[in-house]
Amino acid sequence: MTTPLLTVRDLTVDFDGHPAVRGVDLDLHRGETLGLVGESGSGKSVTALAVLGLLPATARTGGSVRLDGRELLGLPARQLAAVRGRRIAMVFQDPLSAFTPVHRIGDQIAEAVRTHQDVGRTAARKRAAELLDLVGIPDPARALDAFPHEFSGGMRQRAMIAMAVANEPDVLLADEPTTALDVTIQAQVLEVLRTARRESGAALVLVSHDLGVIAGSADRVAVMYAGRIVEAAPVDELFAAPRHPYTLGLIGAVPRLDGRGGPLVPIPGRPPAAGEPARPGCAFADRCPLTEDRCRTAEPPLTGTGTGSASGTGDHRAACVRADHLAATRPAPAEVYPVPALPAAVPRPRAARDSVLAVRGLTRSFPRHRGGLLRRRAGEVHAVDGVDLDIRQGETLGLVGESGSGKSTTLYEILRLAAPQGGRIELLGQDTAALDRAAVRRLRSRVQIVFQDPAASLDPRMPVGDVLAEPLLAQRTPKAEARRRVPELLRQVGLDPAHADRYPHEFSGGQRQRISIARALAVRPDLLVLDEPVSALDVSVQAGVLNLLQQLKAELGLAYLFVSHDLSVVRHLADRVAVMYLGRTVETGTAARVLTRPRHPYTRALLAAVPLPDPPAERARPRLLLAGDPPSPAERHLGCPFRPRCPVHAALAPEQRARCATETPPALPAAPGVDHTATCHYPD
Partner 1 sequence: MSVELAAAAEQSPDEPSVPRGRLRLAAARVAGSRGALVGLVVLVLLFLLAFVGPYLTPWDYAAPDYGSLRQPPSGTHWFGTNGLGQDVFAQTVRGLQKSLVIGLLVAVLSTGLASLVGACAGYFGGWTDRVLTFLVDLLLIFPAFLVIAVLSPRLRGSGWIAFVLLLAVFNWMVTARVVRSMTRSLREREFVAAARYMGVGPFRIIWRHVLPNVSSFLIIDATVTVGGAVMSEAALSYFGFGVRPPDVSLGTLLAAGAADAPVFPWLFYFAAGLLVLFVLAVNLVGDGLRDALDPTAAAGRHRPRSRRGERTRRGDRRRPTRSTDTPSRRSTP
Residues 20-59 that bind partner 1 (CB under 8 A): 20, 38-41, 43-46, 49, 54-56, 58-59
Nearer CB in complex with partner 1: 54/556: 54
Distance in Å, CB of 122 to partner 1, minimum: 37
Residue 656 CB partners (closer than 8 Å, separation 6+): 681, 682
How far apart CA 328 and CA 199 sit, in angstroms, is 40
Which residue number, 431 or 488, has a Cβ lying nearer to partner 1?
488
365 binds partner 1 (CB under 8 A): no
Residues numbered 284 to 343 that lie near partner 1 (CB under 8 A) are 286
Q: Which of 18, 350, 360, 621 binds partner 1 (CB under 8 A)?
A: 18
**439 binds partner 1 per the rule CB under 8 A:** no
Q: Which residues pair with 572 in a beta bridge?
A: none
Is the distance from CB of 541 to CB of 508 less than 8 angstroms?
yes
CA angle 677, 679, 683 (to 5 degrees): 80
Among 67, 458, 552, 558, binds partner 1 (CB under 8 A): 458
Window contacting partner 1 (CB under 8 A); options: 197-205, 294-302, 374-382, 479-487:
479-487
Cβ 399 to partner 1 shortest distance, Å:
17
At closest approach, how far in Å is the CB of 430 from partner 1?
A: 15
* SS3 per-residue string spanning 53-115: CCCCCCEEEEEEEEECCEECCCCCHHHHHHHECCCEEEECCCHHHHCCCCCCHHHHHHHHHHH
Q: What values do phi and psi take at 584, rounded to 5? A: -120, 150
Q: Is 625 in the site for partner 1 (CB under 8 A)?
A: no
Cα 108 to chain centroid distance, Å, stands at 29
Neighbour count for residue 361 (Cβ, 10 Å): 14
Number of neighbours of residue 341 by Cβ within 10 angstroms: 8
Q: Which of 12, 15, 111, 291 binds partner 1 (CB under 8 A)?
A: 15
Number of residues binding to partner 1, judged by CB under 8 A: 84
Looking at beta carbons only, is 292 or 459 nearer to partner 1?
Answer: 459
Nearer to partner 1, 8 or 447 (CB): 447
The CA distance from 266 to 545, in Å, is 8
- Angle of CA points 443, 444, 447, to nearest 5°: 90
DSSP string, 406-434: SHHHHHHHHHHTS--SEEEEEETTEEGGG
Looking at the Cβ atoms of 209 and 243, the one nearer to partner 1 is 209
User: What mask, x for binding partner 1 by CB under 8 A, covers residues 395 to 424?
Assistant: --------------------x---------
569 contacts partner 1 (rule: CB under 8 A): no
Task: Confirm or reject binding of residue 12 to partner 1 (CB under 8 A).
Answer: no
The reply to whether 484 sits near partner 1 by the rule CB under 8 A is yes
Interaction pattern, residues 145-184, with partner 1; x per rule: CB under 8 A: ------------------------------xx--xx----
**Which of the residues 208 through 267 are near partner 1 (CB under 8 A)?**
209
User: Binding residue for partner 1 (CB under 8 A) from 483, 621, 637, 659?
Assistant: 483
Quick one: 165 or 467, whose CB is closer to partner 1? 467
Are 292 and 321 in contact by the 8 Å Cβ rule? The answer is yes
- Of 337, 451, 560, 642, which lies in the binding site for partner 1, with binding defined by CB under 8 A? 451
CA–CA gap between residue 139 and residue 433 (Å, rounded): 48
Q: Which residues of 501-630 form beta strands (DSSP E)?
A: 527-531, 559-564, 576-581, 584-590
CB of 666 to partner 1, least distance (A): 33
Task: Indicate whether 189 belongs to the interface with partner 1 (CB under 8 A).
Answer: no
Burial of 192 (0-12, 13-18, 19+ CB in 10 A): buried
**474 near partner 1, judged by CB under 8 A:** yes
- The interface with partner 1 within residues 485-544 (CB under 8 A) comprises 486-488, 491, 496-501, 503, 505-506, 508-509, 516, 519, 523, 535-537
Closest separation in Å from C-beta 241 to partner 1: 26
In contact, 391 and 429? CB cutoff 8 Å? no
178 CB-near residues (< 8 Å, 6+ apart): 157, 185, 186, 189, 190, 208, 210, 213
Q: How far is the CB of 672 from partner 1 (least distance, A)?
A: 39
Interface pick for partner 1 out of 22, 87, 127, 270 (rule CB under 8 A): 270
* Dihedral angle over CA of 623, 588, 668, 631, nearest 10: -60
Comparing CA positions, the residue from 183, 174, 170, 186 lying closest to residue 36 is: 174
Q: How far apart are the first and last CA of the chain?
A: 49
Least distance CB 38 / partner 1 (angstroms): 8
- Cα–chain center distance at 543: 14
Residue closer to partner 1 (CB basis): 106 or 398:
398
Beta bridge partners of 426: 358, 431
Q: How far is the CB of 486 from partner 1 (least distance, A)?
A: 5
Contact flag: residue 444 with partner 1 (CB under 8 A): yes
The Cα 158–Cα 133 span in angstroms is 10
388 phi, psi to nearest 5 deg? -120, 125
464 sits near partner 1 (criterion: CB under 8 A): yes
Q: How far is the CB of 470 from partner 1 (least distance, A)?
A: 6
Query: Among residue numbers 73 through 102, which ones bind partner 1 (CB under 8 A)?
Result: 93
Q: Which residues contact 221 (CB under 8 A, 6 or more apart)?
A: 34, 35, 36, 37, 214, 232, 233, 234, 235, 238
Nearest distance in Å: CB 279, partner 1: 10
Q: What is the nearest approach in angstroms of partner 1 to the Cβ of residue 460? A: 7
Q: Give the residue with the Cβ less far from partner 1, 183 or 323.
A: 183
Quick one: 435 or 668, whose CB is closer to partner 1?
A: 435
Q: Rule CB under 8 A: is residue 430 a binding residue for partner 1?
A: no
Cβ-based nearer residue to partner 1, 128 or 449: 449
Contact 188, 623 (CB under 8 A): no
Helix (H, G, I), strand (E, B) or coil at 196: helix
> Is 577 buried (19+), middle (13-18) or exposed (0-12) by CB count in 10 A?
buried
Residue 366 engages partner 1 in binding (rule: CB under 8 A)? no
Q: Which of these segments, 161-169, 332-340, 391-399, 482-490, binds partner 1 (CB under 8 A)?
A: 482-490
- The distance of closest approach from Cβ of residue 282 to partner 1 in the complex, given in angstroms and rounded to an integer, is 15
Per CB under 8 A, does 278 bind partner 1? Answer: no
Collapsed DSSP state (helix, strand, coil) of residue 234: strand
Out of 157, 410, 448, 568, which residue is the one contacting partner 1 (CB under 8 A)? 448
Distance (Å, rounded) from C-alpha 286 to C-alpha 296? 9
Q: Give the residue with the Cβ less far from partner 1, 469 or 626.
A: 469
Instruction: Single out the segment in contact with partner 1 by CB under 8 A; choices: 27-35, 77-85, 451-459, 591-599.
Output: 451-459
